[in-house]
Amino acid sequence: MNTNYTVTVLGLGAMGLPMATRLASQLTVHGFDIAGPRLKLATAAGIATFDSARDAARGTDALLLAVRNGEQLNDVLFGENGVAPVLARGSVVILTSTVGTEAIPATVERLAEYGVELVDAPLSGGPVRAGQGDLLIVVGATPSARSQAAPVLELLASTLSIVGEKPGDGQALKTVNQLLCGIHIAAAAEALALADALGLDQAKTLGALEAGAAGSFMLSNRGPRILEAYTEGGAEVLSRLDIFVKDMGIVGKAARAAGLAAPVAAAAEQLFLLGQAQGLAASDDSAVIKVVAPTRRQTRPQ
C-alpha cells in the first residue's frame, strides 16, 4: 500500500464509489458527496469522508472528478465553492468524464494559475469493472501529469491507452468511442425489436446473434438489459439514457466542427432524444428499445 499518496474522489455515485473503493485498497482516499447515504457507504469501505468538497480536496496529490458536462466541471473547480484554490501545487486533476474538447483549454489555463495540471482521462467500463480495476481509460496529458496521476490510473485501468500529450486528446478519442457505443446500443435495440415483430424469441435471437458475425460487446452487454426493458421497473440503471443524449450531442457537435457528415450517429442521437422526450431519461439506456417498440408483442404470428 502507498498510504503516502492521497487521492480525493468528488462524487460517490454509481461510478465514483466503486472507483474510490478500488483506490482505497492501495492508497489513502478522501471522498465527498452531497448525499449522506453515499458518505456512509464510503466510510464503510475505508474512505475518509468530509463535510465539504473543499475539505476533501485540500492538499491531496490528485483529485478525481466524474462530472456531467463542461459547465459542471467549471463550477466544481472554479465556482463559488470551487476546489481549485485549495489544491496543492504540483497535484493533478484527473477528469474521467466525457465533456467534449471545448471545455478543456480554459480549464487547463485556469488550473495552471494554481500550479495544477489536468489529466484528461475519460473512462469506459461501468460500475462493476470500476470496482475491479478493469476499466478502459484513454489519456491525454503531459508526461509530468501522467507520472503524478500514475498511482490512480494504474489501479483503475486494465487497459490504459496514452493517446496524446495534451489534455483534450483523451476527450477526442472518447468522442469517437461514444459514437460507436451509441450507434451499437441503438442498433441492438432495433434488431431485438425487429426479432419480436417477426415472431422470434428475443432471448434465443440474442444468443444466436452473439455467436455470429453480428455480435459485438454492446450487443452482449446491453442485449440482456434490453430484454428487461419491458419488465416492471425496467433494467437496473447502469448507464442512464440521458447520458447518451449528452454524449451523442458531443459527437454531433464535433463532427460538424470538423466538417464531417455523421448520418448514422445523428439517427442514433434522435432515438435517444425521443426516449428522453418520452420520459425515459433516468432509465437505463437499454430502454431505447421502447422508442421503436413501446410494448413487446404478447402473441406471435405462426
Residues marked as catalytic: 174
Residues 88 and 64: their CA atoms lie apart, in Å, by 14
Q: Is the dihedral of CA 36, 38, 39, 40 positive or negative?
A: positive
Query: Angle 278-282-285 (CA atoms, 0-180°, nearest 5)?
Result: 85
- Residues 32/53, Cβ–Cβ less than 8 Å: yes
- Reduced to 3 states (helix: H, G, I; strand: E, B; else coil), residue 225 is helix
Q: What are phi and psi of 205, to 5 degrees?
A: -60, -45
DSSP state, residue 55: H
Residues 78 and 111: their CA atoms lie apart, in Å, by 9
User: Which amino acid, residue 152?
Assistant: V
